[in-house]
Amino acid sequence: MRVGARLLAVVAASATWMAPPSRAVTLSEQCPASFEKRDGRCRLHTAYEQYASLRDAGVGGLKTGLPAFRDGFTPREIDLGRYLFFDPVLSANGKVACVSCHDPGHGFSDGRGRSSGVAGREVRRNAPSLWNVGFLQRFFWDGRAHSLEEQVQGPLYGEAEMGTTPARLVATLNGIPAYRVLFAQAYPDAAPAIRNDHVYRALAAFESSLVSLNSRYDLYAHGVSDALSPRELEGLNVFRSFVARCAECHTPPLFTNQQIAVIGMPEPAGRPLDPGAGAISNEPMLRGGFKIPSLRNVALTAPYGHAGQFGTLRETVQFYTGGRGHAVPAGEKLRIHWHIWEPKLSDQELDRVVDFLGTLTDESFRPEAPAVLPSGLALPH
């Protein structure tokens, strides 16, 4: 069968479960909150622009600038990406969307230790939050992707996740008149046909709009001295101390230094060691290494760890005071990151750190789910 015929067959098969949307869908001409529209494109604007770079301000400094950010998308691109993000039509069975594993109600995670996709079985790792991904330089727990466009292809084509293929994806979207119109609005060169790179860029545009920088911590960092309670301030001081050393990896204001670290995290019962970044690089020193996640909105994204090993923040911070390499499986000799040692924090200090982590919650710019999807499908539950 020729390629064109195969694509038509996919569209025909899909048509049995697709219906036109109940009312017309249009793309927004307005930039999301925290973005300014300049020359037709959305540019991020934050109070952190007044501060120096991360390198100039030192570890854990409150008056610290943000890393470089990915912006410059048009409002239409961002809104098109929003529709795609919530639409299960991107998956092989029309039942799984990006939002299925990155739910705004769970801090753009999903509340599970490990997500499940079209195959109905658990994937290998926990779904990370998408807040502030526009600042990141590497993606996935093992850091294997280096752009948002590269990142979105992982779940789209992962057999255990959304399970589609590049050919099926564009054939399906080109078979939906509403999407043909919307893609042509966002990308004039998509008028003849929607391409895969259009899909990747639109999803990247939407994900880059997920900015969370208005927490109570941010108010305190910008000079509102009573934004944090005494207990939360105590937790901040422990977090930044050279005893706990949390801020050396979870560096403000993004609360990650974006590096890969080997910390000796345990695996869920009965599961073998996940080599993490070591399997990507084939470097023995990175065996068991994972990307340091941002702690923004961390109080919303339980469970924690690359495989959802810890059910609560308290359990998670307790792990870090348990001693260097204490959870490494027998027979493994991991190169534990030098920041991981034996801080021997007291129960009170651990409780205060958890109190402080709660101040990083901010959903003020949480996007709305579409009222209707261009595919005519229902929003995933």
> Is residue 138 a contact partner of residue 131, using CB atoms and an 8 Å limit?
no
Residue 137: domain span: 3-18+32-45+67-208
> Any bridge partners for residue 38, and if so which?
41
Question: Can you read off the two tokens belonging to residue 297?
Answer: 């909105």
Same domain, yes or no: 202 and 225: no
Whether 138 is covered by a domain: the verdict is: yes
> Any bridge partners for residue 103, and if so which?
109
Residue 237 and residue 244: Cα distance in Å, rounded?
9
Report pLDDT digits (tens) over 335-373: 998 888 889 999 999 999 999 999 999 999 999 999 999
Whether 87 is covered by a domain: the verdict is: yes
> Any bridge partners for residue 37, and if so which?
42
Residues 6+ apart with CB under 8 A from 257: 248, 249, 250, 251, 292
| Backbone φ, ψ for residue 139 (5° rounding) | -135, 160
Question: Can you read off the two tokens belonging to residue 170?
Answer: 């564009």
**CATH, residue 308:** 1.10.760.10
pTM of the model: 0.92
Reference 216, options 352, 357, 313; nearest CA is 357
Residues 6+ apart with CB under 8 A from 23: 372
Report pLDDT digits (tens) over 286-334: 999 999 999 999 999 999 999 999 999 999 999 999 888 999 988 899 9
Same domain, yes or no: 276 and 196: no
Residue 96 and residue 76: Cα distance in Å, rounded?
24
Report pLDDT digits (tens) over 19-77: 555 467 899 999 999 999 999 999 999 999 988 765 555 566 788 889 999 999 999 99
| Backbone φ, ψ for residue 38 (5° rounding) | -130, 125
Whether 182 is covered by a domain: the verdict is: yes
